[in-house]
Structure 1
Amino acid sequence: MRVAKSKSKAGSRRLTAVLVAVLTAMGLMGTAIGAGQSNAASASTFWIDACGMPTNGAFGNKSMAPGKVKVQSWRRPGNYSTVILLDGMRAGYNRSGWDIETNARRLADSGVNVVMPVGGAASFYTDWDAPSNFNGQRSRYKWGCVIDKRLVPALRSKGFARKNNKFAIMGLSMGGGAALTHAAQRRDLYYAAGSLSGYLTLSAPGMRTALRLAMLDVAPAPWNVDAMWGPPWSPRWTANDPFMLINRMHGLKVYVGAGNGFFGRYNYPQNTFDDLFKGTPLEMLAFAQAKAFEAAAFVQGVPVMSYSANGTHAWGYWQDMLWNAKNRGFFR
């Protein structure tokens, strides 16, 4: 009996030790999990002044706060930089296309905070000369003011990570050239700029006509391109042409990506018609302009981080370009 009792005590001590070890491990795990959660990227939405635009630059869209621009963001403590992502020609007014169509928000889990201003369809993210009279726009677009004079100061005041007090800016299609233009014109605000399938030689023969036709096809109603930078002979066209601003990009990190127009991994059978008759020609034009831009930048001594692969004008390829830039250290 004594032996049995001794064994029972020993077993009890071992059980107690195991329980203590398990509880300790659980406590440590809880601490680790809690620490992981506190360092995870957090999503938030905030609003900035619209520089006089009635609502996100649209036509009194009642779903938006009057006179305010919605901004989506993802950030994490300890991240080393922040990128502003500009949308394309058909940008929506409730969520950024980047948020709807890509995993761009996940950049915030790997070092780069993400900021997405919402809205700006057909705007080229610039200050327009006048309201678009084709669709009854109530007030002219002032996206140049919104991005540079409202969004960037808001990011600084909210403590978003930055490099030398500057941010990265990147856009797709319409937003691609706009990102390079913003960065070239305001070197005090941006240290890196990227264009994904953007149109980078707006002064090239035929480009104004091409943009005119493209903007007539943007919902909910056609836009008048002459209200943006004036008639074709206006100096504002060259002042907002990335190709003509290369000499102001020395010291700026520049990324230019474009597909070659051929079908690739993100071209699906149900989208064949649109991909073939819209996506392919649009991307071939972007590809040609990207190569012209890169050649001119080389001549002027401006290094360009370039990317090209099979692909048309589609979100999957822009997501790949974004991560290619990240993995190559573009945001560092």
Structure 2
Amino acid sequence: MVVACVVLATGAVAAPADAATRTRFMTSGCGMPASPVDVWKRSANYKTVIALDGLRATSDMSGWRHETNIDKLADRGINVVQPVGGLASFYTDWDRKPGNKQDFRYRWTCRLDQIVRQLDARGMAAGRWGKYAIMGISMGGNSALTYAANHRRRISHAFSMSGYLNLSAPSMRESIKLALIDAGNEAGLGPYDADDMWGPPWSRRWVENDPFNLVPKMRGMTVRIAAATGAPGRYDVNAVTAAKGAPLETASAAQTKAFETHAGPNGLRLTTDYQPVGTHSWGYWRDAVWRAQREGWFRDR
């Protein structure tokens, strides 16, 4: 049995050669404050996946670490990288600083580029082609596919769970605008304005950051999409949370299926994971990652 060993940022603890280790490093630049990146790694692993958080990402740790056990993928052949932060950011470079209490402009595309370079320096570009996998939930699902499409040289696998993959659909841009307002207010920073991110709804940047429109750029990549129906299931023990998560998941399922319908005729082969029950919550996303692992999705093709 593989024994996990924790490694602090300030030093390493002796461990068996085949044990997974955890480290945290800081990344800075891009005009943003420094932010942490948590890494679970084993030297013999065959792939490294970057896991993006959702809309309400916090600055202390990723939701993936707080809510799931996917760090244990490192004991199953897959290094796990969890960038921390990105509240309401869509992991993208914003047009300008948001008009709330945040005093810097998001430049998360730049930050992810930096993280990839730092992973390279740590010898983590595992796999036959020396490329990474990237995955995310909800907001991070959109972002994973978008980043992958624009970084084919470094990304081979992209996985969206409950993402909104057709932002050009009716009412989607308005929905994103409302979601950013709500996330900022809940975090005590004041509303984020989607116009500060990609400009007004008619801006070309909305088109450029819509995974639906990026399908041709993903041809030949290993792409996976997942969503559930919104029907409550085993993880919906809180009625209020379930009531909030159900419509979000129903909408993401419709968006995900629209993306699938568009992908086939445009030459993008992908795998799907549609579940009969499940709302917009972490238990279902954790299970989706483990199903992908069991099916061998993370392996090079």
TM over 0.5: yes
In the alignment, structure 1 segments of 5+ residues that lack a partner are: 1-34, 56-67
Check the 8 A contact 1:79/1:161 in 2, yes or no: no
1:261 to 204, 207, 230: 230
1:182 to 132, 147, 154: 147
2:267 to 287, 301, 308: 301
- In structure 2, give the amino acid aligned to 1:313: H
Query: How far apart are the structure 2 equivalents of 1:190 and 1:179?
Result: 10
Superposition pairs of residues 85-100 of structure 1, within 5 angstroms: 85-100=51-66
Per-residue CA deviation, residues 90-117 of structure 1 (Å, 9 max, x unaligned), is 0010111100000010000000000000
2:60 alignment partner, SS class: coil
Instruction: Find out whether 1:162 has 2:126 as its counterpart.
Output: yes
2:104 alignment partner, SS class: coil
- In structure 2, give the amino acid aligned to 1:93: S
Per-residue CA deviation, residues 205-238 of structure 1 (Å, 9 max, x unaligned), is 1111101111111122221111000001110000
Instruction: Find out whether 1:224 has 2:203 as its counterpart.
Output: no
1:216 alignment partner, SS class: helix
1:192 Cα shift?
Answer: 0.3
Query: How far apart are the structure 2 equivalents of 1:261 and 1:212?
Result: 22
Instruction: Find out whether 1:199 has 2:196 as its counterpart.
Output: no
Q: Which residue pairs with 1:81 in the alignment? A: 47
1:137 Cα shift?
Answer: 2.1
CA RMSD, aligned part only?
A: 1.2
1:37 Cα shift?
Answer: 2.7
Give 1 or 2 for the bigger CA radius of gyration. 1
1:302 alignment partner, SS class: coil
Q: Name the count of aligned residue pairs.
A: 280
1:136 Cα shift?
Answer: 2.7
Query: How far apart are the structure 2 equivalents of 1:245 and 1:85?
Result: 20
- In structure 1, give the amino acid aligned to 2:46: Y
Q: Which residue pairs with 1:237 in the alignment? A: 206
2:175 to 210, 224, 231: 210
Superposition pairs of residues 22-61 of structure 1, within 5 angstroms: 37-53=16-32, 55=33
Query: How far apart are the structure 2 equivalents of 1:88 and 1:50?
Result: 22
Check the 8 A contact 1:257/1:321 in 2, yes or no: yes
Query: How far apart are the structure 2 equivalents of 1:114 and 1:196?
Result: 17
- After superposing on structure 2, the runs of 4+ consecutive aligned residues of structure 1 that deviate more than 4 Å are none
1:116 alignment partner, SS class: strand
2:109 to 144, 164, 178: 144
- In structure 2, give the amino acid aligned to 1:162: A
Q: Which residue pairs with 1:18 in the alignment? A: none
1:304 Cα shift?
Answer: 1.3
Query: How far apart are the structure 2 equivalents of 1:44 and 1:288?
Result: 38
- In structure 1, give the amino acid aligned to 2:210: D
- In structure 1, give the amino acid aligned to 2:136: G
Check the 8 A contact 1:50/1:69 in 2, yes or no: no
1:43 Cα shift?
Answer: 0.3
Check the 8 A contact 1:50/1:142 in 2, yes or no: no
1:213 alignment partner, SS class: helix
2:182 alignment partner, SS class: coil
Deviation larger for 158-167 or 251-260: 158-167
Instruction: Find out whether 1:247 has 2:221 as its counterpart.
Output: no
Query: How far apart are the structure 2 equivalents of 1:291 and 1:239?
Result: 20
1:289 to 246, 255, 258: 255
1:217 alignment partner, SS class: helix
1:193 alignment partner, SS class: strand
- In structure 2, give the amino acid aligned to 1:37: P
Query: How far apart are the structure 1 equivalents of 2:81 and 2:20?
Result: 12
Check the 8 A contact 1:208/1:232 in 2, yes or no: yes
2:50 alignment partner, SS class: strand
1:161 Cα shift?
Answer: 4.1
